[in-house]
Amino acid sequence: MILVTGAGGNVGSELTGILTRDGHPVRALVRTPRPLPDGVEGVAGDLNEPASLKPALAGVRAVFLLGGYDDLPGALAVMRDEGVEQVTLLSSRSVVGGHSGNAVAGMHRAAEASVRASELAWTFLRASGFMSNTLRWIPGLRAGDVVREPFAEVPVATIDPYDIAAVAAESLTTPGHEGRAYALTGPEALLPADRLRVLGELLGRDLRLEPLPDTEGEFDDSEVTSTVQDLTGQAPRPFATWARTHLAAFR
Ligand SMILES: NC(=O)c1ccc[n+]([C@@H]2O[C@H](COP(=O)([O-])OP(=O)(O)OC[C@H]3O[C@@H](n4cnc5c(N)ncnc54)[C@H](OP(=O)(O)O)[C@@H]3O)[C@@H](O)[C@H]2O)c1
């Protein structure tokens, strides 16, 4: 049995889909009960309350884990005590490139340190910026044709959460990934204006980017890696594919 945390999120929902499609038994950790895809069992639990995870961990061999919760060492200790053998942690490329004062990088570094210290077998998925961050533009696009965005001149090799999930599924179901930290990116580095142009073409709208002042130093998230292709045999999906798949959300 594989437990997916964040199963309602961008990556977790893709992961439960891939695992059930491939015939693996999947359980979703949910905070509040809700309908789940066929074949996915939902069990209540809260990552901020380690003891609450016990029912969801019965019979679980491997966990897909998000970081950033109150007591990750406590949650990992409960997993180990309940018989979990391996964890795949969703991390970020900022752990390598982010400066020491960056809160997001600090959160991911702390999560990786907790997992390393847990005695569980681990794999880290150090992802670049998600294509799904584009969903943040929806309120602006409802109000008009202008998107206001900081870091307008910073290219990012954005990744489709589907591709992160595809690598996560490999790491959870095939051997050879223990102790590996994978840098995962999409196929090309894009500026926000590049993503907006693709979106505008698909929507048939003339959209415009208005740069906002950059809030804090950004790390370099522009380098493209071949890891998704190497591990899944599939090229990472371009932004246009992600945008087409999620176009209804922008209409
Ligand atoms: N966005 C990026 O560019 C980027 C880049 C690298 C890494 N990351 C990392 O990726 C992760 C986010 O992944 P995502 O986009 O797939 O997630 P998401 O869409 O933001 O969804 C978060 C999920 O976590 C669940 N959750 C929140 N608090 C919880 C708790 N206390 N206990 C149990 N579950 C809880 C939510 O469940 P409910 O349905 O109950 O709310 C939801 O399913 C974060 O750790 C982030 O730092 C993001």
pLDDT at 173 over 70: yes
130 contacts 92 by C-beta, under 8 angstroms: no
Pocket test for ligand 1, best of 27, 31, 32, 158 (most atoms within 8 A of CB): 31
pLDDT at 217 over 70: no
Q: pLDDT for 99-115, tens place per residue? A: 878 889 999 999 999 99
The full set of domains in the chain, from first to last, is: 2-250 (3.40.50.720)
Burial bucket for residue 34 (CB in 10 Å: 0-12, 13-18, 19+): exposed
Q: How confident is the model at residue 33 (pLDDT cuts 50, 70, 90)?
A: confident
Average of per-residue pLDDT across 172-177: 98
Mean pLDDT of the chain: 95
Q: Give every CB contact of residue 55 below 8 A, 6+ residues apart in sequence.
A: 43, 44, 45
Q: pLDDT for 189-202, tens place per residue? A: 999 999 999 999 99
Supply the residue whose CA is at minimum distance from atom 8 of ligand 1.
Answer: 92
Pocket test for ligand 1, best of 27, 36, 66, 167 (most atoms within 8 A of CB): 66
Q: Give every CB contact of residue 157 below 8 A, 6+ residues apart in sequence.
A: 128, 129, 185, 186, 187, 188, 189, 190, 221, 222, 223, 224, 225
Ligand 1 atom closest to the CA of 5, numbered from 1: 34
Beta bridge pairs of residue 28: 4, 42
Span from the CA of 6 to the centroid of ligand 1 (angstroms): 5
Measured CA to CA, the distance from residue 15 to residue 167 in angstroms comes to: 9
